[in-house]
Amino acid sequence: MHIIPVLDIKDGLVVRAHMGNRAAYRPIETPLSPTADILDVAQGLRQLYPFPAFYVAELDAIQQGLAAGALERLKPLVAVADVWLDAGFASLHQLEGVLTMDGVWPVLGSESQADTSVLGHLSGNPRLVLSLDFRGDEFVGPPALFENADLWPARVIVMTLRRVGSNAGPDFERLTEIKRRAGDRAVIAAGGIRHAADLEQLEALGISAALVATSLHNGSLSPEAISSLMNGNDSRTG
């Protein structure tokens, strides 16, 4: 079971996400870091465990487009870990440059797609990650993107936005169904993970990895538990 820490970025700072209500997100206050600067927070997380990958959501880019300098800001982080980057990618043009960057794995969020064309062109690319986004029971994005599992790339995130930061537990039922449809693809859980028991249950379901934030910052996942779950996997996730 891989644990991938989440860094949600808004106005250039790491914010604490809660149930997908992005307008209410505020800079994070965490015992792991003296500031909400992305590199400070990442360094604090890596004091818990030398995580080989981070998930970075550029929230301003998701809503307004990727700003100049956003990728440059990530270079020091890419120097120590892979970055799974969700920046509202919605066109092949936006992805061309990112797919050439060592250590950056672009995440194609379903909420940012107008149709299935981008995924159709790139589904075979080994570095592309698809995020299937849900608000409650509603899939956010073109229905065909969810319905046609043949389009899915090798890594699929199941993002349950209303469970993010909610301490409500993962959506085990939805994850079980998507894992069944995904076949041998890696399925990654996102939203609601509270403690080691949740991660152990996900692993038993065949889930490959989990995006985690709150339980790392509040201490629910200790360094010992993280190390045990990661099982010594210190190579870069990919």
* Cβ contacts of 224 within 8 Å, gap of 6 or more: none
Average pLDDT for the chain: 89
Q: Would you state the pLDDT for residue 157?
A: 98
- Counting Cα atoms < 13 Å in the Cβ hemisphere of 4 gives 27
- Kindly report, residue by residue over 96-133, the tens digit of the pLDDT: 888 888 999 999 999 999 999 999 999 999 999 999 99
Q: Which two tokens stand for residue 113?
A: 């797609």
pLDDT over 90 at 73, yes or no = no
**Nearest alpha carbon to residue 14 among 49, 68, 56, 69:** 56
Q: Which two tokens stand for residue 17?
A: 């996400």
Q: Would you state the pLDDT for residue 236?
A: 43
pTM higher than the cut 0.75: yes
> Strand 26-27 and strand 13-16: pairing?
antiparallel
Task: pLDDT band for 233, please (50, 70, 90 cuts).
Answer: very low
pLDDT over 70 at 232, yes or no = no
Task: pLDDT band for 69, please (50, 70, 90 cuts).
Answer: low
Q: Would you state the pLDDT for residue 234?
A: 44
Q: Give me the phi and psi of 83, to 5 degrees please.
A: -125, 120
- 203 touches 210 (CB < 8 A): no
Instruction: State how far the Cα of 1 lies from the Cα of 207, in Å rounded to an integer.
Output: 8
CA distances from 133 to 111, 112, 137, 143, 189 (A): 6, 10, 10, 11, 11
Task: Tell me the average pLDDT across 64-80.
Answer: 78
Task: pLDDT band for 65, please (50, 70, 90 cuts).
Answer: low
Domain architecture of the chain: domains with CATH = 2-230 (3.20.20.70)
SS3 track for 152-212:
CCCEEEEEEHHHCCCCCCCCHHHHHHHHHHHCCCEEEEECCCCCHHHHHHHHHCCCCEEEE
Q: Would you state the pLDDT for residue 67?
A: 57
- Kindly report, residue by residue over 201-228, the tens digit of the pLDDT: 999 999 999 999 999 999 999 999 999 9
- Kindly report, residue by residue over 43-62, the tens digit of the pLDDT: 999 999 999 999 999 988 87
